[in-house]
Amino acid sequence: MTGAGSGGDRPARLRLFVAVTVPEGIRATVDEAVAPLRAEAPELRWTAAEGWHLTVWFLGGVEPDRVQDVEAGVARVAATGHPFTLRLSGTAGTFSSVLWAGIEPAPMLEELARGLATWFGDEMERPFHAHLTLARTDGARRPLKELAERYEGPTAPWTVRHLALMRSRLAVGGSRYEVCNEWPLGLPSSMPG
């Protein structure tokens, strides 16, 4: 008899995804812009600012003994890229149950997503649409679109220098995320001399 929800004797899989993290200063200004909406719709599941990220590729459950291979793949794809400027669009949008902050078009981010899709041998299920998840709803109690229209967020740019492998863990009050490892974008420049 196995414990409920456990995989029996098998080691637990890790829920992994590849992402770009959002610097603290940007998170703080987005947090300010989101505060009034949060106050107005406390019934939504609002994400915590400290965990904000942009998912580039979602891996799902990974066996512990496969993590090294995954890391090697992410490192390889990161090396094919280069540092780039990212900026939020200052506007929000919605998927069916998600309220998100948008970003300005970022070809490098799309290239990294395609690289990861190729490396991990999957088709991209749908066109890549980078977004910062602000809130989720379990039902259609409140039209998210109305909140999205009122969001006026920051558009300050930042430089993305790393691709991160992140892990999520289910927790009361929302998933918790941690950076397992990260790799610089681009090959290290050769030392002079």
| Binding positions for ligand ATP, rule: CB under 6 A | 15, 17, 55, 58, 133, 136, 168, 170, 175
Least Å distance, CB 168 to ligand ATP, is: 3
* CB nearer ligand ATP, residue 15 or residue 162: 15
Least Å distance, CB 17 to ligand ATP, is: 4
State phi, psi for 123 to the nearest 5 degrees: -75, 145
* CB nearer ligand ATP, residue 21 or residue 168: 168
* CB nearer ligand ATP, residue 82 or residue 162: 162
Q: d(Cα 85, Cα 158) in Å, to the nearest integer? A: 6
Contact 157, 85 (CB under 8 A): yes
Tell the residue number behind the tokens 């420049």, with chain if given: 189
**Three-state DSSP state, 7:** coil
CA-wise closest residue to 168 among 85, 74, 72, 55: 55
Least Å distance, CB 170 to ligand ATP, is: 6
